Copies of this chain bind each other. A is one copy, B any other.
Amino acid sequence: MMTVSEAAKAFLACDRYLILTHRNPDGDTVGSASAFCRGLRALGKSAYLYRNPQITKTYLPFAEPLFAPEGYVPDVTVAVDVADVRMYPNGYTGRPEYCIDHHGSNPGFAGETCLMAHKASCGEAVLEILKAMNAPIDGDVADALYAAVSTDCGAFQYRNTTADTLRAAAELIELGADHVALNKKLFRTFSRGRLTLEGMVYTTMRQYRDGTLNVAAVSLKMLEEAGAAEEDMDDLASLAGKLAGVEASVTLREMAGGMVKASVRTNGNPDASKVCAKFGGGGHVMASGCSMECTLEEAEARIVAAMLEEWQ
């Protein structure tokens, strides 16, 4: 494990960087990698991003101008926000010399790792490292880091948000991040398919147990009618929990081939992992998942019964 100052020293001594984002890339990995790449360049280094084919159009503007050209041969590879070798981006087969991360579970797969597990986002770790390197931080770097920080803490709403997260965001605004435009783009803009699907969920969800259990069921027909794509499914399981009075929610999604996927969210009671274990699934006490081979209606009846049984 490297400290921030050790990492800064090591990165100042190298050149010809390739920077990896993780599989199923989110705002934190793309924003952090983009900012780190630009910061290295501002210090006179050669630096490019691995051409991760999964980066979606929301985050592509941060990454695309920095993608490594065909045939680029790096001296050092740095994995950013990559928690495990299983999270290597599609097509990558090497072993990174360095890793910058904030996942406490990171096993240290890279040559050297700078792990800041107390940070809500990897973006906060990259900000500290760039400052320790005295890298110039311009508006583009600040934008990328603001995207990283703010998306990983759910626009400062999630449980992982700390005073330090808010201070990092404050610093990035002062460094030139266009937080107004980024907030609008990242948190207040939705596709037609997503909004229609949300609308369908809100108008069809059903309550049980005096309104403390809320169930949303999303059929293949609804998805088709909404014109919703896979990317419109992000965080779908959080919608049913928005209803006042709800202590636990289940989101059911009909899959092709007669399967139903269930996502269970609770305040801890009932234990979501115990409920899902009954159907061969699992996860955490407050968030778990499982699959069933049945109709949506049957899945709802089964999982509601299991929830009521486990409720203390």
Contacts and interface: CB of A to CB of B under 8 A. Distances in A.
Nearest to A190: B242
Copies of chain A in the complex = 2
B244 A188 contact: no
Contact of A192 (B157, B170, B171, B243): B243
A202 B198 contact: yes
A155 interface: yes
Interface string A132-160: 00000000000000000000000111010
A196 B203 contact: yes
Which label, helix, strand, loop or mixed, suits the secondary structure of the A interface?
helix
| Most chain B Cβ neighbours within 10 Å, of A156, A164, A174, A187 | A156
Contact of A195 (B173, B191, B242): B242
A248 interface: no
B170 A164 contact: yes
A157, A161, A198: most-surrounded residue (chain B CB, <10 A): A157
Contacts of A16: none
Contacts of A180: 159, 161
Interface string A67-88: 0000000000000000000000
A175 to B, nearest CB: 9
Interface in A159-189: 159, 161-164, 166-167, 169-171, 173-174, 179-180, 183, 187-189
Contacts of A201: 199
A277 to B, nearest CB: 27
Nearest to A181: B159
Nearest to A188: B242
Contacts of A188: 157, 241-242
Nearest to A183: B157
